[in-house]
Structure 1
Amino acid sequence: MDPKALKAEFPILHQDINGHPLVYLDNAATTQKPRAVIEAVKRYYEWDNANVHRGVHTLGSRATDAYEGARDKVRKFINAGSSSEIIFTRGTTAALNLVASGYARHLLGEGDEIVITPMEHHSNLIPWQQAAKATGATLKYIPLQPDGTIKLADVENTVTEQTKIVAITYVSNVLGTINPIAEITEIAHRKGAVIVVDGAQSTPHMKVDVQALDVDFYAFSGHKMLGPTGIGALYGKTRLLERMEPVEYGGEMIDFVELYDSTWKELPWKFEGGTPIIAGAVGLGAAIDFLEQVGLDNVDRHEKKLTRYAMDRLSRIDGITIYGPREERAGLVTFNLADVHPHDVATVLDTEGIAVRAGHHCAQPLMRWLNVSATARASFYLYNNEEDIDRLADSLVKTKEFFGYEPIR
């Protein structure tokens, strides 16, 4: 794949910021959108805009076909067994909350355990805190190694026969840690637990096969994989989705309504109350088409190569601290520079036209584990290249000089 050629497909990347060509390195927060996605959403609103599943007119039929066609694209993209196992949501956060509210709160009780890790995004932590409080279940944590990885022996020791749910991120949005999901799933299942995977940072960057992994629930967002904001998906095994309760009522999720009772539609519409995110689903389908044309294996190889280059280039800067594993890691580098606050680092980088993220990255417990209040993060995608890393490294040196540190000799 040619990152420079791909970059030409992204209109937003061809602009100057503060007098410098934009270098966008905040892809873990959200990715930019190619023309194909922008045009797909535009075309839907210009030609097919109608509500789905309800009208028999031509626009309604076309909108329904586009919406359900996008669902099938998601199914194929993650290799789910059936389109009925794909629930459209507002994103990863909504999908994880759906499992915590619709599954965990109805099935857990005192004496049960929920196991997570300290590296979780708040979206895969707070719902389980609340589920534990509501049901009397116990929340437990798999300990982290000094480099921010986890050992399978610790998973074995933490997950017990009382554990009913293991909820874990596939890829840490701070550390870049890639967790061994297949092995963790085997441990969870052997001890009678179901596994819930936060796939927000994995789905855009590597080939995911939910059947090969044997995960029970898998959540991800469209906007982190070239799609629109406000759309995502939850995959769940049929037998588990059928046990879940809806958390939103009305609209398209109902089957039959009496004055004092109602019944629900079959999967997946049971969980999609109200007018769904039709244009978002269309855009997500177009993003999947784009990614499949590029090839997820190509994206994965490119990002790993770029990350190795970034780790080497940034490590040469005196006073920089890089967090997370040094070897096998995802396409991001989280760091602090001397004693310059990361918000100041990000502000100075912005004056050079470089967009990075600074803050706690919705992972405050992990920040405390790292013994920092915040970090800066540069995260990469298919349109980034080595020149972007060089710009970042050179600008970090300028940042040090701006705050009174001696330049590297």
Structure 2
Amino acid sequence: MSDQYPIEKIRSDFPILGQTNRGKPLAYLDNAASSQKPQRVIDSISRFYESTNSNVHRGVYQLAEEAENQYRLAREYVAEWFSVTADELIFTRGTTESLNLVANSFGKTQLGEGDRVIVSEMEHHANIVPWQLMCKTVGAQITVVPVLPDGSLDRQALSSLLKEPGSRILSLCQVSNTLGTQNPLSEIIQEAKLNDVRTVVDGAQSAPHQRINLRELGCDFFAFSGHKVFGPMGIGVLFGQKELLQEMPPFLGGGDMIEQVSFEGTTFASPPQRFEAGTPNVAGAIGLAEAFRYLSEIDLISASRHENQLLALARDGLQGIEGFIEHGTTSGKAALLSFSIDGIHPHDLSTLLDSEGIAIRTGHHCCQPLMQKLGVEATARASFALYNTMEEAERLVSAVRKAVSVLR
């Protein structure tokens, strides 16, 4: 299938991929941390600043009207991509802010003394810490779903927790940023609904690789970051069911999120403006919409097959190395390979790979509780995207083997 996949055309859309790193062709395999940007996304941001730059919501002159129109159209396009309405889509700085917004606004009204928020051992810190802070404030507690040895979620434990008295919110990643595990969210969300548990989804790792119909998925909230979906940094999205957003108090106060202000009290705008205090990242929103327009022209099913072939090639090549351990082996995992090699520190390995022009991520990946479960302090992680090549996967294998021979 990869023979028919238009890899060269896709790569030509991303200017950064043509450069060298340490004198070698850049092999960018850190896509779970952040993706590269197609030229058209870069151009859309430049055009805004060159010809349309103005604050939104604040002017009746032509430039302001054009900026307002582009900002509105960006929201509408992103909402359409996810099969939701524009008034259910809040622009944020990223997944982290989106999850903090849910915890601080929705969580504050839904949680009380003795209530429970369910998370899993595979969660990013951004889906743990906001809930910890809120639970400490209201007297609620966090309960944790274990991860099984293959990296999958312990569904039996989850089912038991959903039935526990006081379970109010389940906040879960769709795809683990460390293990690559793809959680069966549709089934889990349906089970949560049967137990009157609200669902929050961290979609940071799933949104770049598949088109998600949030109406069909049925979650109450869904968060993701623009910089992982080939869009700019500093922009993200929180989707929330309309009836829930309407009942939620503001997260931040300031301009644009108000209806009327007096010293006696303030009334607030309707969602999504209620949750977008201050001057928004207009250029970021425009760039994000352009990223999804770009993805709309790519066969994402073929891209997913291609990414899975890259994963298989890398995994098969690395498994023969003595002491190689793959973290997360569940079937159907995302195109992400997190691994350790006995006796070799991931940072040393990454440094030698960098000298070969290969960019991977090492560390705890903002998943320290998961690292403790795995019994390691850090892992090396190679993560693939639609523009990576078989040659790059082969270079990864060759460079790791070379590094191992040097470090042992």
Shorter-chain TM-score tier: over 0.9
Structure 1: distance between partners of 2:140 and 2:303: 40
Name the amino acid aligned to 1:240.
L
Matched, 1:394 2:398: yes
Mean Cα displacement is larger for which, 121-130 or 314-323? 314-323
Secondary structure at 2:297 match in 1 = helix
The offset of 1:326, in angstroms, is 4.4
Matched, 1:182 2:193: no
Matched, 1:284 2:294: no
Q: Over residues 323-377 of structure 1, what are the superposed CA-to-partner deviations in whole Å (9 max), with x where a residue is unaligned?
A: 1024210011001123110000100000000000000000000000000000000
Mean Cα displacement is larger for which, 306-315 or 286-295? 306-315
Mean Cα displacement is larger for which, 296-305 or 325-334? 296-305
Matched, 1:145 2:148: yes
Matched, 1:226 2:224: no
In the other structure, the counterpart of 1:86 is 89
Secondary structure at 2:256 match in 1 = helix
Structure 2: distance between partners of 1:154 and 1:4: 45
In the other structure, the counterpart of 2:264 is 260
The answer on whether the counterparts of 2:181 and 2:330 sit within 8 Å (CA) in structure 1 is no
TM-score w.r.t. length of structure 1: 0.97
In the other structure, the counterpart of 1:271 is 275
Q: Over residues 98-138 of structure 1, what are the superposed CA-to-partner deviations in whole Å (9 max), with x where a residue is unaligned?
A: 00001102321012111000100000010111111111112
Matched, 1:26 2:30: yes
Unaligned runs of 5+ residues in structure 1 are: 405-409
Q: Count the aligned residue pairs.
A: 403
Structure 2: distance between partners of 1:266 and 1:105: 19
1:195-214 correspondence runs (5 A): 195-214=199-218
Secondary structure at 1:139 match in 2 = strand
The offset of 1:153, in angstroms, is 2.3
In the other structure, the counterpart of 1:108 is 111
State the Cα RMSD in Å. 1.1
Q: Over residues 62-98 of structure 1, what are the superposed CA-to-partner deviations in whole Å (9 max), with x where a residue is unaligned?
A: 1111111111111111111x11000000000000000
The answer on whether the counterparts of 1:26 and 1:355 sit within 8 Å (CA) in structure 2 is yes
Matched, 1:298 2:302: yes
Mean Cα displacement is larger for which, 222-231 or 317-326? 317-326
TM-score w.r.t. length of structure 2: 0.97
Mean Cα displacement is larger for which, 323-332 or 282-291? 323-332
Secondary structure at 2:216 match in 1 = helix
Matched, 1:97 2:100: yes
The answer on whether the counterparts of 1:335 and 1:377 sit within 8 Å (CA) in structure 2 is yes
Name the amino acid aligned to 2:224.
F
Structure 1: distance between partners of 2:197 and 2:93: 26
The offset of 1:141, in angstroms, is 0.8
Mean Cα displacement is larger for which, 389-398 or 255-264? 255-264
1:49-128 correspondence runs (5 A): 49-80=53-84, 82-128=85-131
In the other structure, the counterpart of 1:407 is none
1:302-341 correspondence runs (5 A): 302-341=306-345
Task: Choose from 346, 358, 364 the match for 2:362.
Answer: 358
